[in-house]
Amino acid sequence: MDHISCAVSGMTVGDRADRWLDQPALPERFFARPAAVVARELLGAVIVSSVDGIVCGARIVETEAYTGPEDEASHAAARIGRTRRNEAMFGPAGCAYVYRIYGVHWCLNAVTDGPGFPSAVLIRAAEPVVGINIARSRRGDRPDRDLMRGPGNLCAALGVTGALDHHPLNAPPLLITRGSAVPEAEVVAGPRIGITRAVDLPLRFRIAGSHWVSGR
């Protein structure tokens, strides 16, 4: 598996950066499971971006699962089918599904389950742990708390765009490492945000008490 070197040009290294950077990427088999399982277990994992040769990393604190064709809120719900936009959701597991909302904001998802079964986990929010100055420069004059709160903000801070759609998440310039485990007692599950269908399903997962999570 790939590791990210602390010698990457332009990196701003935070306290104990090696703790987050010197870890192997999560393997494909981690993602080749139901989306709800992956969504919960991605809490505490670390996204490491080296887009443009600059390292910026963040610990995942909030996710949402989109569980397949039967999930009416999914971009690949049975009523929609397979399209050019959602093609990445059909596999393989462990690749990125990156799409744009409102014609402005990019959103990052990790594809899950088996080939041909469209499901994914939306990365909703993260806590910057490496290269926070890079995130600040990309996000403008905002409080640190808001750098990666919400999927569009997270992608902007990490430099993620549609160019990374289909990218395998175990290789630079965008990968996910194991990070640190989150105990079950610290996980809150509830309804997803910003959808109009299947609104009651408890498929949003977040770390309790984290001030980096988004919204309600």
Average pLDDT of the chain?
90
Domain ranges across the chain: 21-207
177 pLDDT more than 50: yes
Per-residue pLDDT tens for 188-199?
999 999 888 999
Q: Which residue has the higher pLDDT, 109 or 16?
A: 109
- Name the CATH superfamily, with its identifier, for domain 21-207: Methylpurine-DNA glycosylase (MPG) (3.10.300.10)
Do the beta carbons of residue 97 and residue 120 sit within 8 Å? yes
Per-residue pLDDT reduced to its tens digit, 26-83: 999 999 999 999 999 999 999 999 999 999 999 999 999 999 999 999 999 999 999 9
Q: Where are the alpha helices (DSSP H) in the chain?
A: 17-21, 28-31, 35-41, 132-139, 151-158
Q: Pick from 169, 158, 131, 207: which is nearest to 24 by CA?
A: 169
What is the reported pLDDT for 27?
97
Distance separating alpha carbons of residues 36 and 43, to the nearest angstrom: 12
For residue 8, pLDDT beyond 70? no
Question: Is residue 25 pLDDT above 70, yes or no?
Answer: yes
pLDDT at 210 over 60: yes
Per-residue pLDDT band at 16 (split at 50, 70, 90): low
User: What value does the mean pLDDT take over residues 16-29?
Assistant: 83
Instruction: Sort 47 into a burial class: Cβ within 10 Å, 0-12 / 13-18 / 19+.
Output: buried
pLDDT recorded at residue 7: 29
